[in-house]
Chain A
Amino acid sequence: MTSRRIILIALCWVIAISLLHATYNLHLFTPRDHTARTRFRIGFLPVTCHLTCPVTDFINKKIYGESIFEPIRFNGWPELKEAYLSNYTPATFILAPMAIALREQGVPIKVLYLGHRDGSAVMVHKDSTIRSMQDLRGKRIAVPNRFSNQRLLIFRALQQAGMTVNDLELVEMAPPDMPAALYAKAVDAISSGEPFMAQTELDGYGRVLWLTKDVWPNFISCVLAVHEDMIKHNRPAVQRLVDGIASSGKWLDQSMSHRMESAQFVSKYYYNQDPRLLSFVLSKPPDRVKYTNLALHRHDFEEIEQLGRASGILKGTAHFEDYTDTSFVRDDSAVQAYAWEPAK
């Protein structure tokens, strides 16, 4: 075993593993389709708030054989945000307060459309005695991110109950870790987007304290946003994007069977989750989440701005006109749903 032989072995290994990786993971040796290059990337997380993204992708592939964009799934908000900042994903779904905060920091971001309405909740352990906001006094509640709407939601619920944020303990936690934390009673309540809340209900240890629709009707959570340069240089693509997302929303709300169908193909091909999670969230109760009326309205965002300033995450230097562009959806009621039925 001389050193020369070792160097030879090492070289062989490097070449072999690189070839294997290129073949299996990078698909460098499979024939490329050229249209893939002209599509732009859009970031999303495996949450119901971003459901219209995979739905649009899937339906377009079914109807036209190819999609408008290339969806990229991320595992957490920080990576999603950083990918947008480095322009890897010129379009992305993102938390509304985060979009506003980025605009305040000078990032050229434009919100175009909403993700969905409602679709969030606060869950407690089913054995706990917490039944109202007052019962949360002195307790620990987990929220996803400083800039999440869940935090603002709780803020608003506290205001409504006459409490302040100092009456309880807020901790930041990644949404996938929340069900386990609740199970282990490490926290007293959790709040984030679906389907992580429904997971605790389905698995039998969680109980709804309140749904968003009970506290803040028509609550908006995530929004669809694109880079300003994309609007400048590729307006038609942006229009196609917004049209697609809007049509998907209408399609989802057209019938329960559409929703159930989407639960299947989104879980399997995009979210890598158990389909019964999404099926549960999209149906019990049916108005747990809504995908219509997703055009941008000033008062939705001004409410968020106000709550954001009050809770200290926004400075108040960016206003509706700065961070939105409503020119892509003139009239929400004129949007047509996708005319696609899944094959039986």
Chain B
Amino acid sequence: MNADSKTLDKGPVTETRRRVPGRFSRTMNDPDSKWWRFVRPVGMIAIFLTTWGLAVRLSQTDLFPGPGSVARAIVELIEKGLLAKYVIASLFRVTWGFALAVLVGVPFGLILGWYTRAFQAFNPLIQIFRPISPIAWIPVAILWFGISDLAPIFLIFLASVFPICVSTIAAVQNLQPVYLRAAQNFGLGQWELFHRVVFPASVPQIITGLRIALGIAWLVVVAAEMIAVNSGLGYLIIDARNAGKRYDLVVAGMVMIGLIGLVLDLLIRQLTKLDSVRWGYSK
């Protein structure tokens, strides 16, 4: 009954596999087993780290750090108790900026997607504001919100709200007409139609928009923390720059941002595994 997706993308039948003897022979011979799914990316990262280290050593650069000094810098941050503080600060700002973007962007997108006249009125404005980089908004943010957490939260909100709004509008506009017809057939009123049919049918695409927006929000955190806040991973990078030759701290900040970005994406991808949402993504 269920199409087994695993069997669809195995290699050609004549693929020869080396027999690994021993207890784990079965998992290691199956190229799609959990073991290999773990080893492949980890192996790639190991290759990357080695290349980086070699490149630094061979070029004998005085300034750019190798993976070793970056690791030591991370340890230094942990010892000083700063790593936890900075990670919490950045996560706090991204949480609130993103949450506000969802609370504003999704309902607004649903309304604009459903009411053509509202869409005609607002869409050009949205398309005008969307391409303006959050960095350009920094002076405005300081003027309106001063030097506090509100300014970076505002910038992160700006960066996230447009992709969310646009995806939601597209989701509603691309709604299959057959769902609407069936729902009307069952005698659903406008409000029921909206919350029992339009919204659930749009959720997969909305979640795609959320994934993109979260990535952007986390990306913008460095720019957003350029304003004189005194904590956060973005601040760490800017401050390390001012501290002189601490490029190891700069890269340590980048590494932490990257790792947390990976975790955030994995988390939001869990949303796509919900039964009431899974149908929206092709296998």
Contacts and interface: CB of A to CB of B under 8 A. Distances in A.
B219 to A, nearest CB: 19
B239 A272 contact: yes
Contact of A85 (B89, B143, B231, B244): B143
Contact of B92 (A18, A75, A79, A174): A18
Contact of B63 (A26, A74, A183): A183
Contacts of B62: 183, 203, 205
Nearest to B240: A272
A273 B95 CA distance: 31
B99 A14 contact: yes
A302 to B, nearest CB: 31
A21 B245 contact: no
Given A180-B63, A203-B62, A75 B242 contact: yes
A78 B242 contact: no
A246 B277 CA distance: 68
A195 B271 CA distance: 50
Interface of A (DSSP majority class): helix
A176 B241 contact: yes
Contacts of A25: 85, 88-89, 92, 231
Contact of B245 (A6, A72, A179): A179
Contacts of A83: 142, 146-147, 228
Contacts of A82: 139, 142-143
Given A24-B85, A199-B244, A203-B245, A6 B228 contact: no
B283 to A, nearest CB: 20
Name the residue among A17, A72, A174 with the largest chain B CB count within 10 angstroms: A17
Contact of A78 (B96, B139, B245): B139
B238 interface: yes
A74 B242 CA distance: 10
A74 B243 contact: no
A229 interface: no
Q: Which of B96, B245, B274 has the most CB of A within 10 A?
A: B245
A86 B142 contact: yes
Interface in B130-183: 138-139, 142-143, 146-147, 149
Given A79-B228, A88-B146, A88-B147, A20 B88 contact: yes
A17 B95 contact: yes
Interface residues of A, number: 42
B69 interface: no
Contacts of B274: 1, 3, 6
A6 B271 contact: yes
Interface in B269-283: 270-271, 273-274, 276
Interface in A37-78: 46, 72-76, 78
A177 interface: yes
Contacts of A176: 241-242, 244
Interface string B176-206: 0000000000000000000000000000000
B88 A86 contact: no
Nearest to A80: B228
Contacts, number: 99
Given A21-B88, A274-B243, A73 B230 contact: yes
A203 B62 CA distance: 9
A17 B244 contact: no
A17 B228 contact: no
Contacts of A3: 274, 276
Interface string B91-114: 110011001000000000000000
B88 A72 contact: no
A239 B10 CA distance: 80
A46 B242 CA distance: 8
Q: Which of A73, A176, A271, A277 has the most B CB atoms < 10 Å from its CB?
A: A176
Interface string B218-244: 000000001110110000001101111
Nearest to A24: B85
A13 interface: yes
A139 B181 CA distance: 72
A273 B238 contact: no
A82 B227 CA distance: 10
A79 B239 contact: no
Given A74-B228, A75-B228, A24 B245 contact: no
B84 interface: yes
A195 B243 CA distance: 10
Interface string A7-31: 0001001100110110011100000
Contact of A21 (B89, B226, B241, B273): B89
A46 B91 CA distance: 27
Contact of B88 (A13, A24, A177, A274): A24
B244 A20 contact: no
Nearest to B91: A17
Contact of B244 (A1, A72, A79, A274): A274
16 contacts: A13-B95, A14-B96, A17-B92, A21-B89, A25-B231, A26-B149, A75-B226, A82-B143, A86-B142, A176-B241, A180-B63, A183-B63, A199-B244, A271-B243, A274-B244, A274-B245
Interface of B: 62-63, 84-85, 88-89, 91-92, 95-96, 99, 138-139, 142-143, 146-147, 149, 226-228, 230-231, 238-239, 241-245, 247, 270-271, 273-274, 276
Given A46-B243, A78-B139, A79-B226, 19 more contacts: A1-B270, A3-B274, A3-B276, A20-B88, A24-B89, A72-B228, A75-B226, A79-B227, A80-B228, A82-B139, A83-B228, A86-B143, A174-B241, A199-B244, A203-B245, A272-B242, A273-B244, A274-B243, A274-B245
Q: Which 7 A-B pairs have the closest CB atoms?
A: A21-B92, A82-B142, A176-B241, A176-B242, A25-B231, A74-B228, A20-B88
